[in-house]
Structure 1
Amino acid sequence: MSLHKWLNERVDLDGMYTGLLDRKVPSGLSWAHTLGSATLAVFVVQALTGIALAMYYAPSPDHAYDSVRYIQTAVISGPLVRGIHHWGASAMVVLVVAHMIRVFTMGAYKYPREANWLLGVVLFILTMAFGFTGYLLPWDQKAYWATQVGTNIAGTTPVIGDILVKLLRGGSQLGAGTLTRFYAMHVLLFPMLIAGVIGLHMVLVIRQGIAPKPKLLEEGSPLTTSDAQYPAYYQAQYKEAKRGDQRFWPDVIAKDAAVAVLTILVLVLLAKTFGAGLEAPADPSDSSYKPLPEWYFLPFFQLLKLVPGSLESVVAVGIPGAGILALLFLPFYDRKSTRSFRHRPWAMATLGTLMVSCGLLIGAAYRDISPMVEPDTGRPLTSAERAGRALFKGQGCNSCHQVGANKPTGKAGDLPDAPDLTEVGLRHTGVWMHSFMEDPLRFHKNSKMPAFGPPILSHQEIEELSRYMSSLRGKNGDAKQPQFVDTFPETPKHKEP
C-alpha cells in the first residue's frame, strides 16, 4: 500500500485537495487580493523570529537590556533576526490596514462576509496590542518611556483607569511585574489569539469564497443586502463570476506566493540596511527623556497633544472606542447593495479624510522631533535642568521662541514677536522667570504668552523650566556677566477692613 493511499484512507487527502486547493474562484482577481496572504506570511515570520529571540531573551529588568544587547553583538545573525522581527511588526500593521482598506473599498464586508469583517477588526486590534506589548521588551529608554506614556493614557479611562493601569503594570509603577506581563502577553497570549483569528478567518474565506469584482454584484441587484431576494441574487451572481477557468491552485496560490516572498525579501533588506535600534538602558529617574511611540501609534499620540488637558480622557477613550464600534457595526448599518467605490462617494470621502488626517498627524509628530536645545555652558546639565529642557520642548516653547540656531519649529501661537531666548539667562533671574511663567499677564497686560501655572504645570515643574532657561546664556555663556533687567509687578495692597 502506497503512503498516499494509506493517508488518503485515514485523512481524505483527495477530499482536502478538492475542497482547499482545486476549487474555482471568481475571474479577474487583482494583486490587491494577495494582501491577506502577505499578512499571513509576515505573521509566520514573526512567530519564527520571535521563537529565536526568546531563546536568548531574559524577561527581567536586571537582564532584559543585556540579553538584547547580547543578541545584537554576540549571537550569530542576531541583529538580522531582531531586525526582521522589528520591521515585521510594522509590516503586520501596514498589511492588516491595507487589507481592511481593500475590503472596504470593494464593499466586501457586506453579505455574506460580515463575520469575516468582524474577525478582521479583531485581528487589527490584536495586531496593535501585539506591537504595543513588544515595544517594552528591549528595556531601553525608548521602550520604557513610551510604555510609561501608553499606560498613562490607559489610566485616563473613566471609572476603571486606575485598575487598568495596575493591571497592565503589575503595580503602580513600571517594573519587573510590567515586563513579565508584557512578555507573557507578547509571547503567549497574543500569538495564540492571532493564530486563532487567522485560522477562523481562513475557514470563512474557504466557506464563503473570495469576493468577486464589485461590478458583478451590482447589476440588477435589490436595493439592500437585507432584502429577502438578495441571498438568491448573490448566489446566482457569484456562480456566474466563477464561470471562468481560474482556480485557487495554481492561479491564486502563485500570486500569493510571489507577494509573500517579495514581502519577506523587503523585510530582510530593511533589517540589513536599518536594523533595529537599541538606545541606552532604561533610566526611570531621567525625566528629561522625550518619549515617542512607534509610528503606527503617532496619530493618536499627536492628537492627544493637541487637545486641552480637560478633554484628554474623553479623546483617549472616546475616539478609539467610537472608531472600533464604527468598524464592528459597519456591515450592519451599511446595507446598501452598492459595493463599488465609484458608487459610494461618502464612504470614500470618509476613508480619504481619515487617511489624510493620520498622515498629517504623523508628519506633525515627526516635525516635533527637533534636537533638544543644548545651552553652551561648557558643563553637563543638572537633573533639574534636563527636566526643564524636556518641559521646554514638551510644552511647545520651541514652537514660538528661538534658541541659538534652533529656529521656532511651528506656528503654535503664531507669535512673530516672541523673544529670542538664546541668552535669556543673562537678562533674567530664575526667580523672575518662575513668576512670569506662572502668570504673564501680571507683568504685561497685553502678553500673548499662555500662563503655565497650576494646573498646567506644577510649581516644581515651573522651577525646573526656569532653571533650564537660566542656563541659556549663549555661546560661552558662563564667562559672560549677567545684566539682569528684572521688574516685578507691584503686589496689590489690601485695605484694612
Structure 2
Amino acid sequence: MHKGKGMKFVGDSRISAEKTSKIPKDYSEYPGRTEAFWPNFLLKEWLAGAVFLVGFLCLVLAHPSPLEGMADPTDAAYIPLPDWYFLFLYELLKYQFASGNWIILGILVIPGIAFGSLILAPFLDNGPGRRPRQRPVAVGMMLLALVSCIWLTYTSAEHVDWETRAEQNKPIPPGESVVDQDHPGYAAYENSCLSCHGGELEGGAGPTLIGTEHTKEEIMDIAVNGTGAMPADQFQGTDEELEQLADFIIETNEAAAE
C-alpha cells in the first residue's frame, strides 16, 4: 500500500497494478501527426506494395528479359555480363582507378565505402524531423547513391546490343531438337564433332556452334585447320563430307533461329 495521492491497493500480487487496457489509444487529438500501426499504417504499406507489384508484373509481361543459353566456360569468345542490377558495378570496373593494379578498389573498397555509408546515414543524421529538408545528410547520401547507380547502369547498358546478344546465345527449348539426323552432314558431325560440341551443337568440351556467324568456307577451314584451342585435323573425311558438314551446321543454326 502506498499512502498519499495515487494510493493503490493490490489484493493479488500476481496482478500488476500498472496493467493497462488493450484498447488502442485515441489519436484523434493529433490529426495528421500519428496513427495506429494496425490497421491504418500497415494497410497503407500493403496498398503501396500491391501497386508496385502489379506495375512490375505488367513491365515483365510487356518487355520480357532476353534470356540466353547455358553458360559455356570453354567458349573464349563469349563475353559474360552480370544481371542488370549489378551492371553499375560492372561499369565501375572499366575505369582506370578501379581496374588493373587498382582492381581491389573497384571490387571491395569503393563498393564497401558506398554501401557502408548508406548503413551509417541514419546515425550521421539523426534529427527528429522527417521532412527531406530536415535530413540533409541522409537525403544527400541517398540521392548521390541513386544517381550514381542509374548513371553507371545506363552507361553500361547502352554499349550492349541486347537483341543481337540474345539471338546469338538463344537457348534451345528442352525436349525440342533442332538437329536433323537425316541430314547428309550429320554422320560427319557425329564422327568428328559431336564428342566436343554436343548432340545439339550446344557445346561441351568445345564451344557451342549455335549462333555462329561463320560462313560455309570458314567452317570448312576451321574443321580442317583448327582455331584457338581447337587443334587442326579434327575432321577426318572426304571433301564432299566436309561440305556436307558445313551445310549441316549452317542449316541447324537457321532452324534454331526460327
Q: TM-score normalised to the size of structure 2?
A: 0.46
| Higher RCO structure (Cα 8 Å, ≥6 apart) | 1
Name whichever structure is richer in helix by fraction: 1
Q: TM-score normalised to the size of structure 1?
A: 0.26
